[in-house]
Amino acid sequence: MVLGVTDAAESTASPSRRQVDAVLFDFHGTLAQVEDPVAWVTAAAAACGAALDRGKATILADRLVTAGRAGGPVPRRVPIHLAEHWADRDLYEHSHRAAYTGLAATVATDVEGLADALYDRGLDPAGWLPYADTEPTLRILHDAGIKVGVVSNIGFDIRPHFAAWGLAELVDAYALSYEIGRTKPDPAIFLRACGMLGVDPERTLMVGDTPADAGAVQAGCAALVLPAAEPGRPNGLGATLALAGCAS
């Protein structure tokens, strides 16, 4: 079963009966979003000892996002020398870094070391913004005794991000593609997450923002697909609570 956010809002759940035993969440685009591109470039340049005015940072940010940014839109073109790393970016840490630093290096700049600094910014929790609904949604689920897992196609550890945001205690397990060796929509990654939590897939809800997240249906889970939202704004995560049988 796949629900859109409108369907979920119209769904009614009995307050006396829990609908699911666990909720799995995507990370990027569901629980958190990367920071504004100009802020990203400005912070990375500063880490290299360079100060960029807003005009220069804006132009550079546009070019870098077009080239390909971790957490940004898929690049229109991947240079052939990066093709293998690009294909493996969510399976291996070294390929994730090589792919995105390589893409950034295709953009001309006079800031030495910028490509690595841009990538490192994504490894820093300060380079991301949790959505406004994230903390209250996770806390309500946690307090209701519903297990929470994070399932992400990603090439680096995001546990420090949750710790920095004060959310670590609200997540019971992480199924990260580079650790699991499988990527969404492969049912195996969702089944592994359910195994980590000790729950039946048929009593599990996957919440994400892309068709890949809806691949959880093939593993026997229900799925809720949310609309995109700007960083820091509510993005409909509250609909999860009705489906889980929790009072918001």
Sort residue 81 into left (φ over 0), alpha (ψ -120 to 50) or beta: alpha
The two structure tokens encoding residue 36: 């504004």
Residues 113 and 78 in one domain: yes
Residue 91 is assigned to a structural domain of this protein: yes
Residues 175 and 192 in one domain: yes
Residue 107 is assigned to a structural domain of this protein: yes
- Which residues constitute the domain of residue 182? 2-31+131-243
Counting other chains too, the contacts that 194-200 makes at CB distance below 8 Å and 24 or more residues apart are 194/22, 194/24, 194/149, 194/219, 194/221, 196/149, 196/172, 197/22, 197/147, 197/149, 197/172, 197/173, 198/147, 199/21, 199/22, 199/147, 200/21
The two structure tokens encoding residue 31: 């629980």
Residues 21 and 63 in one domain: no
- Rounded-to-integer distance, Cα 118 and Cα 58, Å: 14
- The pLDDT of residue 1: 62
pLDDT tens column, 204-216: 999 999 999 999 9
- The pLDDT of residue 233: 75
- Rounded-to-integer distance, Cα 187 and Cα 167, Å: 27
Examine the fold and report which residue of 127, 152, 169 is the final residue of a domain before the chain moves on: 127
Residues 96 and 78 in one domain: yes
Residues 114 and 61 in one domain: yes
Residues 19 and 102 in one domain: no
Q: What is the DSSP letter of 91?
A: T
Residues 123 and 154 in one domain: no
pLDDT tens column, 50-76: 999 999 999 999 999 999 999 888 998
**DSSP strands (E only) in 6-107:** 22-25, 32-34
C-alpha separations of 134 from 211, 233, 241 in Å: 21, 10, 12
Residues 18 and 38 in one domain: no
The two structure tokens encoding residue 204: 């599990």
Residue 248 is assigned to a structural domain of this protein: no
Kindly give the parts of the chain with pLDDT less than 70. 1-18, 232, 247-248
pLDDT tens column, 170-182: 999 999 999 999 9
Q: What's 140's domain CATH number?
A: 3.40.50.1000
Residues 39 and 67 in one domain: yes
Residues 135 and 235 in one domain: yes
Number of domains in the chain: 2
Q: How many CB atoms lie within 10 A of CB 145?
A: 9
Residue 227 is assigned to a structural domain of this protein: yes
- The pLDDT of residue 236: 85
pTM: 0.90
Whether residue 185 has a cis bond before it, omega within 30° of 0: yes
Residues 147 and 27 in one domain: yes
Residues 137 and 102 in one domain: no
